[in-house]
Every structure is written in C-alpha cells, then in structure tokens.
Structure 1
C-alpha cells in the first residue's frame, strides 16, 4: 500500500481513486473438505482474490502452502494486476491459495482437494471471467484436475478456463520454461543498459528450481557465466564457471546443487553477498533486507522471485545506485506464456512453439523499453517505481474509461 500511495502521488491520484485501486473487487473464502486415508474428514481454508477487472478477466495462480493467508492472497492478486497491465495483457489480477502442506497428502487426497476447490469456486471462474494457473506447489497435474472438474461441473469444454495445463489438454510446451527464458532476456536488456552488455558477465542465481535452472540455461546461451547457484540446502560458488547441465544432473541425482563437485560450498546468505555482476534472487521473498543490502556486491539485480527485496533494501540499493529490475517485469514470462496458451485455446490451437517464444519475448522487450523510458523521464526514481507508474497508469485509464472511478 505504501508503494501504491507513492505512485498515486506521482500520478496525482486522489484518495478515492487510490481506494478503488487498493480494494479487491471480490474475495471468495471457501472451506475445502476431503476424507483422509484414516477415514476422518480433513478441513482446509482457501481463498480466491479477484483484485481488478478493468483490463479484462482476472488472471493469476493458485498456491498450496501451510502459511497461506487471506492478506497474502489479496496482496499477490494486486501484484498480478500490475504485472498484467505492465505487459499489456488483456487481464486483471487474481490469486488463490489453500492453507495446506501438500507434502502431507497422498496423491489421491491432493487430487480430491484440487477438485473440491474447483467445486467451491467454479461459478466465479472461466476463460472470460477468471483464469487460474500454477503457482507455489501446484503444477500441470493440478491444472489437469482443475480443468477436468470444471468441465464436469459446467458441461463446458472451455480449455482456456485454466492455463499451465499439459500439452495434451491445450497447454503449450513453452509454458514450462517461459519464466526462465523471459528473465534471461530481460537480464540481457538490463545488462546492455547498465553493464555494457551480457557477454562474459558473472551471474549468481539464488534458487535453482524451475525458474532458476532455466534462467541459468538461457543466460549461459546469451554469453553470461554462471558462477553461483543454490537451493534450500545451500549453494556452490565457482568463479571458473558452473556447467548448468551438470548442476541439474547433480541436483536430480543427489537432491541438491550443494553436491556440485567443483567450487566452494556456501550458505544462501553467503551467496547473496558474494561478488558478481548480476544477482538473480529466484527463491523466496524478503531474502535481501536492511541487514545484508549494504553488503551486496552485485552491480545489477534481476528479481526472479516475487518480492525478494524488502522496502528497506530497495532504498539502500537505490542509494548505492545498484539497479534492480523488478519482479513484475523480470519474472513475467510465466504469465505471458499463460496468455499465449489462453489465446491459443481461444483460437483453436494454431500457435507453434517458436511463434509462442517470439510472442513472449517481444511482449517483454516492449515492456522493458517502456519502463526504461519512464525511468529516464522520472529522473529521480528507481526501475520499480517506473514499472509501477506505467502499470498503474494503464489501469487507472481503463477504470476511468469504464466509469469505475
């Protein structure tokens, strides 16, 4: 909210307009119950926040996590509004979460939980209303259960009602790697502006999951040198360079990249403050804060995770003149990939993989150009503020045109 009010000041918005932007249009709370393997009923709470529909149907992921809260879901749905606006996607922002540890469930219980969640919210979703997608601890299999249950209940074979599906159900193969692909190319564009190019630049990636590993792959192909990687168990630092394919094999075989044979073993905290040209925090939120921000040695930060920097860290890094490419741009390849999948479903499956990649990258490059221009126009603001100004202004104009404010 503090950031939104700052943007409101730059755009000269009045309080009523800021309230209209801040408050979600609808928050659906549901009770999801399933019979456990022991015969007892297990009860979970879930939410779907539909933040803003000025630009189109709500769009955003569904997460399964034991610490999910209504406030978190609402905040994330607002971020999706800005992200979709920034990328000029025909969507508003949405987000969902169920407070559950999916690792504690059997596969059958997980399937039933997923189906029962759709049973609870099906009236409020659809390809022209609200389109769920994968997020933390959900994947293409969960989306398969979602779309199957939606079709059963509604009688509508509306494959565009959910994205992140398997290819066999109208998904697109590029969706699996679109977030990492997009981040790598945004990092290149930022390096061209701030570091005189990506070629030979040293990169540290904190978080070597789907996003981090694909980002490493594509950054390597663009000429960067991956010198540090990590996962939840720790990381490795090797200034001679890390072989991304070998690191993936080690992680698959041993369970962690910390077992990569060459280089120095480090903690995640140590990795974040190690020397490099480009730092990609691609794991958890708030990992860069007021205590370690003064120690950051990177010359450029590209946010892979959602919210990896605290507000204090933002201010410290801005004062230190270390550019930060914000998450709403850097990790938006996933939602642009979802948009291409949705559009493909709407048109009858006519988009090929290479065309999909070009669509994703061109949309992200256009957004970067807009942000960089706004960054220069504003003069005394950081890239995050520039991105937010572009995104919020577009939503405000749509709301005014529709008479919503």
Structure 2
C-alpha cells in the first residue's frame, strides 16, 4: 500500500520526505528517490540503507513533518503515547486500524483530517468484486478511484456538517448502507 500510494502521489507532484520499515525510518526534507527505495526493498534491504537521508528509529516516523501522512503497514502505530508528535495536516489510513480511536479524536480536535482505514483502503475489496464480475484491471481501477473519492467526500462532508470525527461519520454512513441493504433483502434485524 505504501509503495503504491507514494508512486501515485509523486505522479501528482508530491514529494516523499519519509518512509519506515521494520528496521527504521529514513527522512529527507528535500525528498526521497522512490525507485531507489523500491530497489533496496526488492534486494531484501531496509530503507535505512538509503544513502541520502537521516536515519531514525522505526517509530520516529510518527514525528516526521509532512502534509500527508500515510500509515500503510501495521496496526496500532499511533496511540495516546505518541500522537502528540504528529506534524501533519492530513492522515490517510492505508493500513488496517493504524490509529487508536483516541488518537484520531486528538487529531480531529486539532484540525487534522484523518480518512479512516475502511474508507481509504477499500481498493482490494472493490477490485475483488470487479474481478468477480470479469471487469478489466483498468475498469476496476476506475471504479476504485470513483468509489474511494465518492465515499471520502461523503464522509468528510458529514463529519464537517455534524461536527464529528471522520471515523464516526464513516461508521454512520456504513450502518445506514447496511440497514438499507438488509431492508431491501428483507433481512431486517434493526
């Protein structure tokens, strides 16, 4: 997830300033070369072997100053003990449950937008459904882009309107959709 997110954002003009793996974090405010990092990982090396950056401990990635912070591998990375170190404007949760609820709420109260994991990283599920319907990879990618964009917009609009966290808005939206689907299929338990 991290590699693909980085590539996508770099194609849009973004600069990747920090990455981490199980061995450590590498940071360079001037930007990191994604192809070099990918080659290092393909060769079985750690990102900390990247030559042009500051090497830090693995968990130091939480404090890397950036515009968009994407946790893309492990759960429970950000919690009450380290959320105060974050220096970002937007979090897009690529991993499953990378933040505790309290950490998300802390950021929300400070004006940081957190796009919840089950909204941001649904591409695999959508792609599986598209494959089941025998759609091409290109068509699947188009549907993924459309659905993730649409769902993110709905969640953020609801969060703003109701003054609740994006996760709370996403849970409300998901619950409404499940209830509607169950009612349509006459499986109402609500």
TM-score by length of 1: 0.45
Equivalent residue number for residue 160 of structure 2: 376
Aligned partners of 2:3, 2:26: CA distance in 1, in Å?
Answer: 14
Over 3 Å counting, the alpha-carbon distance change for 1:213 and 1:372 in structure 2 is same
Aligned partners of 2:127, 2:169: CA distance in 1, in Å?
Answer: 23
Higher relative contact order (CA 8 A, sep 6+): 1
Equivalent residue number for residue 267 of structure 1: 57
Aligned partners of 1:270, 1:373: CA distance in 2, in Å?
Answer: 32
Aligned partners of 2:93, 2:144: CA distance in 1, in Å?
Answer: 18
Q: Rg: which structure is higher? A: 1
Deviations 1:55-92 (A, max 9, x none): xxxxxxxxxxxxxxxxxxxxxxxxxxxxxxxxxxxxxx
Over 3 Å counting, the alpha-carbon distance change for 1:262 and 1:213 in structure 2 is same
- 1:237 Cα deviation from its structure 2 partner: 0.2
Residue 365, structure 1, aligned to residue 184, structure 2: no
Aligned positions of 1:247-326 closer than 5 A? 247-326=37-116
Equivalent residue number for residue 139 of structure 2: 355
Equivalent residue number for residue 385 of structure 1: 168
Is contact 1:281-1:305 (8 Å) kept? Answer: yes
Aligned partners of 2:127, 2:109: CA distance in 1, in Å?
Answer: 35
Aligned positions of 1:3-402 closer than 5 A? 211-344=1-134, 351-378=135-162, 380-401=163-184, 402=186
Please give the root-mean-square deviation of Cα atoms over the aligned residues, in Å. Answer: 1.4
Is contact 1:275-1:297 (8 Å) kept? Answer: yes
Aligned partners of 1:373, 1:296: CA distance in 2, in Å?
Answer: 24
Is contact 2:62-2:83 (8 Å) kept? Answer: no
Deviations 1:334-391 (A, max 9, x none): 11111111111xxxxxx3332222122112222122223322331x101111111111
Aligned partners of 1:254, 1:397: CA distance in 2, in Å?
Answer: 47
For structure 2, the 5+ residue unaligned runs are: none
- 1:254 Cα deviation from its structure 2 partner: 4.3
Aligned partners of 1:403, 1:307: CA distance in 2, in Å?
Answer: 29
Aligned partners of 2:50, 2:121: CA distance in 1, in Å?
Answer: 26
Over 3 Å counting, the alpha-carbon distance change for 1:270 and 1:403 in structure 2 is closer
TM-score by length of 2: 0.93
Aligned partners of 1:342, 1:320: CA distance in 2, in Å?
Answer: 42
- 1:400 Cα deviation from its structure 2 partner: 3.3
SS of equivalent to 2:65: coil
SS of equivalent to 1:324: strand
Aligned partners of 1:403, 1:250: CA distance in 2, in Å?
Answer: 51
Shift >4 Å, 4+ stretches: none
For structure 1, the 5+ residue unaligned runs are: 1-210, 345-350
Is contact 1:251-1:259 (8 Å) kept? Answer: no
Aligned partners of 1:213, 1:322: CA distance in 2, in Å?
Answer: 23
